[in-house]
Structure formats: structure tokens, C-alpha cells
Amino acid sequence: MLTWRFCPVGWQVANAKPTRFSIKSGKPVKKYLLLGLLIFCTDLWQSSGAVLSTTNSGIYLAIGSWQPQSGAPLDENAPLQFDQNFVWEAFSTAHGVRLNYPNPEFGIRVKLLDPDGKESPKTALGKKYGSKFDGVRTYEDVISGTSMGGMDAREKYVERGRGFSGGNLPAPRDLFQMEKTGIYTLQIEMLVFRIIETTATHWDRALLRFPPMKIKVEKPLTAPFFAFSATNHGVCLSIIGTKSNGLAGFDDGLRWRPTGEDNIMLNALDLSSAFKLKLHGPDGKEVPKTALGQTIGVNFDAVRTFGRLPPGIKLTYLDIMPGMPFHVPEQPFPVLKDCFAMEKPGVYTLELQMQLFRIIDKPPYGPEPEELLRFPPMILKVNRP
């Protein structure tokens, strides 16, 4: 179950005292309200074992996963799970050190090695993280045209039961294509800026880079089915199931969800226009469709432009926010056994193609949903016991 918490972002003014707890829009909000939200989140969630960075100028970072609060002791030696969100926070050897941290493309670089030691491909969201990491030299390199988060580095990290109230990171499965089961090694490299109050009206910010932190991540044999599409104009689609061992289930209630490299607005089409399905049995022969299956994708090839959609098509608005794939709700997908006459047991091969519309914002006219994103077919293996 993916979750998210509110954290302060938006300190955008260089060389000036920032307004505390401003959000990305730049509008100040009540600091007591946000402080209450942070305390609330800290009380509900605590870290499940954490990996600590080396110390740089008295500052060090801790990364862990979110776990529901309970009386059970935390196993800090256990690997973190591939479908869990991570949370990080800064600590210090001094007291009350104030920090800024930039957006993930500037401030967080990630790499994942699979159980065989080979580098795992990144998803569209994963490619966003650290894409501009090497170009950061000064605070001015990141402040223009982006948001800036802020936090106070706590005095000391407490190993057990300590709640985090810092930044959040997506689950590894949202950043990488994790096809194999086993133990992966996640490397996270980060940078922050230490705020130095040189005068009453002027603040400097010193860049602090931290070497990669290595985190063990497990994708167990019981992990649910998960597959990714190719990336199309910064958008990637994930297919999510409940069955395990790398196979979708013929009776599985599959779901799908888009992720993206940037803020992206989408209009998803209904079953008649969004999907094209073809299934081959264990013998390689094409499997006949049921009455329901024949209605899915009936308008797929007829979709060309948003202005000339076939009549009666229903749309679902989806808003992608970078760094928060869990913000987009998972969309339903038809159960395969209801779409095909899957009578024989064995492993079937599903050819699945999807399409949706990207909403293009054209000032001064506003959003115009006119760009069709048609993805190449995906090949999924389906188990029929």
C-alpha cells in the first residue's frame, strides 16, 4: 500500500531569509498548520532500520522505509522492501543546523544492481532522479525555475523507533524495472545546502555532497506481478497485479498507472478505446475472445485526435506529479478470464497495447488535450493453473 506525507517545500528566494513552510505555488501557508501535520505524520510513521551516510561538515543523512507504528521491535538488519516508500532526514553533530534541498533531478541520484550484480533499467520517473546532479556547483544552479525544500538537521539520530519528518522517496519499483526476485543493492547519492547566516539580511548556502549510500532491497518470490511499458514523451505505464513469480494471473484483477518525468496532465480513455488485446495459448494458437473481450479496444484504431473521438467515449483525468507516483490512483483493468476463453492450463502470452491523451498547456489559451500517446505493445506472461 503506497502512502505519502506532506513535507515543506518551496524556499525559492536566493540570498534572503525564506518564508517558512511555503509550498511550490509560492503562497505562504499557516506555519502552525503545517507543523501540526509534520508532528502528526511523525507520530504515525517510524523508520524501519536506517542507513546512515558519512558525515560532511557535521551533517549526515539517514534513509529508511515507512512502517506503521506498533509495539513490535524493528528489525534494522532486514532488507527494505521493493514496494515500500523511503523517507530521509538530516542529522548533525551540532544543534539547529538549517538546510535546503533541491528537486530530485538536482539533488538525488539513484542506481540499482540486481541480484546478479547487473544494473537495472530505470523507469521514466527513475531517469528523472539525478538527471542534473553533476551540474550542481552552487545554490544558483538549482534555485531558478524550481522549488526548494527546507529542514532543520536534528541533533542526533536515534536508532530504534525514531520517527522521520524529512523528505520522501518513491518505492524502488517505481524507479526501476525490477523483473527478478532476490536481493538488490540500491545506491542513493544526495546533496543538500547548508544555510549560513552571514548577516541579518544575507544568507549563504554551502553545497554538501554525500557519497552513495548502499541499501539492500528485497523483491521476494511472493512479490506481486509488476511490468512497465516503454517511455513515450516522458510517460511510462506500469501494469500491477497480485499474483507472484513474474506472471500475471488469468483471474487477477490487474491495474495500471502512469508515471512521468515531469508535471504531466493526461486524459485516459475507456476500455473501448484505451486497450488492444491479443492472447496466445500454451500451444501458440490465438485464444478466442468472449463477448466482453470483443468490446475492449473496438475503437482503438479509430482514435487519432482528441477533437474527433468516436462518440460516447468516457475520459478519466490523471495528473502526474514528479517524485510522487503514488499520487496517481491505480486504474482498473479487465480480468483476463472474462475477456478470453482460457480453458487449458499453462502459461499464456498476452499482447497488450495502450494509448491515452496528454494535455498540452498552450498559453494564453489554456490546456488542450491533443497529443495522442500510443505505446508499443507489451508482452506479458499469464498463468492459468
- Is 187 within the bounds of a domain? yes
Q: Are 355 and 343 in contact (CB under 8 A)?
A: no
Percentage of residues in the chain with pLDDT exceeding 70? Answer: 77
pLDDT of amino acid 264: 85
DSSP, collapsed to helix, strand or coil, labels residue 338 as helix
- The band of 364, judged by pLDDT with boundaries at 50, 70 and 90, is low
Composition of the chain by helix, strand, coil, percent to 5: 15, 40, 45
The total number of structural domains in the chain stands at 2
Hey, what's the torsion of the CAs at 159, 165, 167, 170, to 10 degrees?
Answer: 80
Closest to 355 measured CA to CA, from 375, 334, 331, 376: 375
71 and 123 assigned to the same domain: yes
267 and 122 assigned to the same domain: no
- Is 152 within the bounds of a domain? yes
- Is 352 within the bounds of a domain? yes
190 and 67 assigned to the same domain: yes
183 and 253 assigned to the same domain: no
- Is 317 within the bounds of a domain? yes
327 and 294 assigned to the same domain: yes
244 and 163 assigned to the same domain: no
Residues 6 or more apart whose Cβ sits within 8 Å of residue 216 = 79, 80, 183, 184, 185, 186
pLDDT of amino acid 226: 84
pLDDT of amino acid 52: 87
- Is 21 within the bounds of a domain? no
38 and 144 assigned to the same domain: yes
pLDDT of amino acid 48: 47
- The band of 218, judged by pLDDT with boundaries at 50, 70 and 90, is very high
Task: Give the range among 12-21, 72-81, 123-132 with minimum mean pLDDT.
Answer: 12-21
- Is 302 within the bounds of a domain? yes
- Rounded to an integer, the average pLDDT of 8-26 is 33
How far, in Å, are 90, 167, 196 from residue 96 at the CA level? 11, 17, 12
- The band of 366, judged by pLDDT with boundaries at 50, 70 and 90, is low
pTM of the model: 0.68
pLDDT of amino acid 305: 87
Residues 6 or more apart whose Cβ sits within 8 Å of residue 143 = 12, 14, 102
Q: Are 277 and 352 in contact (CB under 8 A)?
A: yes
- Whether 363 has a pLDDT exceeding 70, the answer reads no
Task: Give the range among 8-17, 144-153, 272-281 with minimum mean pLDDT.
Answer: 8-17
Domain of residue 378: give its range: 226-384
pLDDT of amino acid 3: 32
231 and 210 assigned to the same domain: no
C-alpha 372/C-alpha 368 separation (Å) is: 12
Residues 6 or more apart whose Cβ sits within 8 Å of residue 36 = none
359: which strand partners?
265, 369
Hey, what's the torsion of the CAs at 285, 290, 293, 294, to 10 degrees?
Answer: 90
Rounded to the nearest integer, the mean pLDDT of the chain is 79
pLDDT of amino acid 51: 85
Picking from 219, 240, 256, the residue at the C-terminal end of a domain is 219
Task: Give the range among 128-132, 158-162, 177-181, 215-219 with minimum mean pLDDT.
Answer: 158-162
- Is 25 within the bounds of a domain? no
Q: Are 124 and 235 in contact (CB under 8 A)?
A: yes
Picking from 160, 194, 219, the residue at the C-terminal end of a domain is 219
Residues 6 or more apart whose Cβ sits within 8 Å of residue 225 = 239, 240, 241, 242, 243, 244, 246, 247, 248, 249, 252, 254
Picking from 219, 249, 278, the residue at the C-terminal end of a domain is 219
- Whether 345 has a pLDDT exceeding 50, the answer reads yes
230 and 211 assigned to the same domain: no
CATH at 356 = 2.60.40
Q: Are 147 and 21 in contact (CB under 8 A)?
A: no
- Is 11 within the bounds of a domain? no
201 and 263 assigned to the same domain: no
248 and 140 assigned to the same domain: no
Q: Is the CA virtual torsion 165, 215, 226, 75 positive or negative?
A: negative
177 and 74 assigned to the same domain: yes
